[in-house]
Structure 1
Amino acid sequence: MDLSRILAAWCADDHKVFPESAIERAEAAIADVVGCLLGGRHDPAVTGAGKIVRSTGAGGKSSAVTHAVSVTAPWAALINGCAAHALDFDDNFFPPVTHASAVLVPALFALAEEIDASTDAIVDAYIAGLEVEAQIGKLVNPSHYESGWHATSTIGAIGAAAACAVLMRLDEAGVLNAISIGSSLAGGSKRQFGSMVKPMHAGFAAMHGVLAAQLAASGVVGVENTLQGKWSFEELYAGSGNVGVFAPRLFPDAPLAIDEYGLVAKLYPSCMSSHLGIDAMLALSARHRIDLSQIAAIDIHLPEFMIANLRYQKPGNAMEARFSMNYCAAVTLVHGVPRMHHFAEPALADAEVARLLPLVHMHVRETLPEAASLPWGGDCLARITFAEGSVIEHRAVYPKGCPQNPLSPAQQRDKFMDCANGNVTGRNAAALFEKLRNFSRLASLQDVVAAMRA
């Protein structure tokens, strides 16, 4: 089996008609990530990326949140991808374990401006990119992610390359070469979690996806199957495990990944690994009148890979706080649902939150049989022990925002408005949200990207 060729043939088949359910989910994801992108436009990593484009990326047709003038598509993809991921508020996608929308949407928007592609073509390319990411994720995970690769930057680069090739309407050979080139641009370690480079990973993957498709379109040819075989993506990037037989089933013979798995739209602007713990704290707070002064211990049992992602027990800055279960649990108990302002530098000085930080302890939770098949890799058991010895506990299984526990329409809109208010250029944030929710039916992308420009 040649997975690269199978995916290329599927992507290049322009007779596919995606179901309305997939289109609606794609539009919701696009609206969500544009909100995140607008909210992250002033992040230091984003402004830093914008500074280097002044001399190297001018003269294009694409919009970047750091610029009032157009830049070239790869640079716009880099800057906007970084902005989309800067708050760690963007969605998660399983089984590849990627922040898929933060890569695909900036890449496709930037390229679409350059080639004047329609909004419905962007949606089709987005769905195709998700499908490619899902199949590669099934091939190499969980070993790939658990061995330390940041799949957003690795699998994401290949998925973006395929999506951009679809948007450019490349034939099977062209898509195949885009996947091949994208696989050589894949990189990024989870060691960067909690640093400014982490959101850059989404920007790198978006930029590399655009470059890979453009290079393929220009005639650059790579090895046909870079996903499997000797020295392949599977062999080199899958860690110590799951190199073996994999047989993909693709639409229309199987459900699309966007329908089968959906995307997890975040309600909290922190690492996804913290969300089951946050859900548990919220559930306990809703059921019990908790006297914070009487808490003796907060024990949160999570899968091992989630604990590895949440390594900052006493965060020193806002970015580290997003990767701290201690901070996220304490903020939730003190303030309720974590909001964007809880991850700004002044919030880290909250005395009550600081008092609770050392009381939070993470423990490796053995994956129960009923939780083994969960796309996000397991469940969470949280216990709060009080000074007089009583204990309350809650098991969180479905993180808020997943298909089994979705955001309400009001929550979707409120999240967008929280991110976009004050960050939209020349447009009303509420009107922009309504446009995005009907994205595939817009006459032009220009109304959306104009709101992104500096």
Structure 2
Amino acid sequence: MSLNRQLAAWCADRSLLFSESAVHAAHVAITDVMGCLLGGRREAAVINAGRALPTEAGGASAVTHREPIAAAWAAMINGCAAHALDFDDNFFPAVTHASASLVPALMALGEEIDATPAAIVQAYIVGLEVQAQIGKQVNPSHYATGWHATSTIGTLGVAAASARLLELNEQGMLHTLSVATSLAGGSKLQFGSMVKPLHAGFAALHGIMAARLAAAGITGTEDTLQGAWSFSDLYAGNGQTAHPPVALFPHAPLAIETYGLVAKLYPSCMSSHLGIDALLALRDHDGFDATRLERVDVHLPSFMVANLRYTQPLTPTEARFSMNYCAAVTLLDGPPKPAHFTEAALVREDFQRLMPRVFRHVRPQSPEAAGLPWGGDCVASVTLDDGRVLQTQWTYPKGCPDNPLTIEEQWHKFSTCADGNSSGQPVRPLFDALSNFSHQSSIGAIAASLRLQS
């Protein structure tokens, strides 16, 4: 059986019952990314993208529009908003910002077809599983080559989740995956630009589009994921590799339980987070005067160094992909917050003075470290003006399953993002509703929080 056929049969199987722990993990992820979505609604990329959309009425709420619009367009805008602050979760082994595309797509499509919250959660778990299984086929070479997996693998995951929500049968699911393969694209070259958050929006848009096209009778080639000219071949160079059948739930644990999601505590590229965590540990433990720093060295896996390519960022967006800037913020102010990624913060003299003293290095990884879901560990050191060198090693980024956010941190992050951005909806009841999402009677009140106020 082809991987396309195997995934299609599994995704269309509505007899599968997911565990309470899987549903709870989905609730946590959905709540987290909805906060990020609300927090990103005023970002320039979101506002500008909203201006490009048609204004005719539809059935889904978008953060740039007062009235509901078509679900696919709402998904694109809301996906961009969810990813705009780079505050949303990461998912391995797909190496995607999975929730930033899945949740906006399923919320928009769910609102349009009046799906239940429970059905949305089931579809979310399905979409995450597809991302994981395809990610295992093509990574690390896919991501290392320069593809932004959020926009490539993410499209396939959203397509499967959307088809699940539309209750397509195995054949419909099969052709959904086929169509989605032809819609997947996006380069990491866009990191630091407005297009980068749009990649999550494109995955949301194209995933819904693929499912809608398949539902309307569009058919495609069955074997698009493995073999010559397939996704695996074209996007990872391993199409001729022999691929054994994959093990899927209930014969194997679900990806959401095996890998979990890595929630963020800092609104910057996750490649910076091990460095931030290590520098925070040095700052908090040794209590040195940051104005006495002569040098800061951060040793990271090679792909993280490549992602953090802006040594002297010129815009807040570039600053999210700058270890130099994130290190300066961390050492001078503590944990980076959304307010640090503004034009006013970027030009602060103390940040500008410290950034040139930050040096990134590629750290050779042991087999054990390289086998971690995020690809390695970090060693950070600071040199003081009296010659002292302080050093630490960091392995588990804050927010990963081995170092999770506390419920207090989850709430603080959500409220920071949503306060003043929830279109008049009270923030605490919204957080509580999302945290128990499957048991809500409808998504009406949650969708209302997204609409632009009059």
- Please, what TM-score do these two structures have when normalized by structure 1? 0.98
- CA distance in 2 between counterparts of 1:247 and 1:389 reads 57
- How far residue 294 of structure 1 moved from its aligned partner, in angstroms, is 2.3
Aligned ranges for residues 155-304 of structure 1 at < 5 Å?
Answer: 155-239=153-237, 243-304=241-302
- How far residue 436 of structure 1 moved from its aligned partner, in angstroms, is 0.5
Alignment-derived partner of residue 340 in structure 1: 338
Contact persistence 1:57–1:75 (CA under 8 A): no
- How far residue 241 of structure 1 moved from its aligned partner, in angstroms, is 9.2
Q: Secondary structure of 2:57's match?
A: strand
Q: CA RMSD in A?
A: 1.1
Alignment-derived partner of residue 26 in structure 1: 26
Structure 1: unaligned runs, 5 residues or longer: none
In the alignment, is residue 408 of structure 1 matched against residue 403 of structure 2? no
Query: Residue by residue, what CA displacement relative to the aligned partner does 1:162-220 show, whole Å, maximum 9, x if unpaired?
Result: 00000011000101111111110000000000000000000000000000000000000
Alignment-derived partner of residue 37 in structure 1: 37
Corresponding letter in the other structure for 2:367: P
Runs of 4+ in 1 over 3 A off after TM superposition: 239-244
- How far residue 353 of structure 1 moved from its aligned partner, in angstroms, is 1.3
Q: Secondary structure of 2:425's match?
A: coil
% same residue: 60
1:389 to 384, 387, 390: 387
Q: Secondary structure of 1:62's match?
A: coil
Which of 381-390 and 210-219 deviates more? 381-390
- CA distance in 2 between counterparts of 1:200 and 1:355 reads 32
In the alignment, is residue 93 of structure 1 matched against residue 113 of structure 2? no
- CA distance in 2 between counterparts of 1:426 and 1:404 reads 36
Corresponding letter in the other structure for 1:103: S
Q: Secondary structure of 1:76's match?
A: helix
- How far residue 426 of structure 1 moved from its aligned partner, in angstroms, is 2.4
Corresponding letter in the other structure for 2:95: V
Corresponding letter in the other structure for 1:203: G
Query: Residue by residue, what CA displacement relative to the aligned partner does 1:328-369 show, whole Å, maximum 9, x if unpaired?
Result: 011000000111100111001211111110111111111112
- How far residue 389 of structure 1 moved from its aligned partner, in angstroms, is 2.2
Alignment-derived partner of residue 430 in structure 1: 428
Query: Residue by residue, what CA displacement relative to the aligned partner does 1:405-445 show, whole Å, maximum 9, x if unpaired?
Result: 00000000000000000001121011110110010000001
2:107 to 100, 109, 132: 109
- How far residue 379 of structure 1 moved from its aligned partner, in angstroms, is 0.5
Alignment-derived partner of residue 134 in structure 2: 136
Corresponding letter in the other structure for 2:27: E
Structure 1 residues 326 and 449: alpha-carbon distance in aligned structure 2, compared to 1, 3 A threshold: same
Corresponding letter in the other structure for 2:227: G
- How far residue 243 of structure 1 moved from its aligned partner, in angstroms, is 4.0
- CA distance in 2 between counterparts of 1:382 and 1:273 reads 14
- CA distance in 2 between counterparts of 1:263 and 1:196 reads 24
Alignment-derived partner of residue 448 in structure 1: 446
Structure 2: unaligned runs, 5 residues or longer: none
2:75 to 52, 77, 82: 77
- CA distance in 1 between counterparts of 2:152 and 2:56 reads 27
- How far residue 391 of structure 1 moved from its aligned partner, in angstroms, is 1.1
Q: Secondary structure of 1:60's match?
A: coil
Question: In the comparison of the two structures, how many residue pairs are matched?
Answer: 452
Aligned ranges for residues 344-363 of structure 1 at < 5 Å?
Answer: 344-363=342-361
- CA distance in 2 between counterparts of 1:441 and 1:36 reads 22
Contact persistence 1:303–1:365 (CA under 8 A): yes
Structure 1 residues 262 and 241: alpha-carbon distance in aligned structure 2, compared to 1, 3 A threshold: same
Structure 1 residues 241 and 285: alpha-carbon distance in aligned structure 2, compared to 1, 3 A threshold: farther
Contact persistence 1:140–1:243 (CA under 8 A): no
Structure 1 residues 304 and 244: alpha-carbon distance in aligned structure 2, compared to 1, 3 A threshold: farther
Aligned ranges for residues 118-157 of structure 1 at < 5 Å?
Answer: 118-157=116-155
Q: Secondary structure of 2:381's match?
A: strand
- CA distance in 1 between counterparts of 2:76 and 2:291 reads 46
In the alignment, is residue 379 of structure 1 matched against residue 377 of structure 2? yes
Corresponding letter in the other structure for 1:18: F
- CA distance in 2 between counterparts of 1:293 and 1:205 reads 44
- CA distance in 2 between counterparts of 1:390 and 1:267 reads 30
Corresponding letter in the other structure for 1:118: T
- CA distance in 1 between counterparts of 2:374 and 2:220 reads 33
Alignment-derived partner of residue 9 in structure 2: 9
Structure 1 residues 298 and 243: alpha-carbon distance in aligned structure 2, compared to 1, 3 A threshold: farther
Alignment-derived partner of residue 309 in structure 1: 307
Corresponding letter in the other structure for 1:40: G
- CA distance in 1 between counterparts of 2:26 and 2:56 reads 30
Query: Residue by residue, what CA displacement relative to the aligned partner does 1:132-190 show, whole Å, maximum 9, x if unpaired?
Result: 00000000000000000000000000000000000011000101111111110000000
Structure 1 residues 286 and 442: alpha-carbon distance in aligned structure 2, compared to 1, 3 A threshold: same
- CA distance in 1 between counterparts of 2:286 and 2:48 reads 45
- CA distance in 1 between counterparts of 2:279 and 2:413 reads 20
- Please, what TM-score do these two structures have when normalized by structure 2? 0.98
- CA distance in 1 between counterparts of 2:313 and 2:240 reads 35
Contact persistence 1:143–1:242 (CA under 8 A): no
- CA distance in 1 between counterparts of 2:316 and 2:442 reads 37
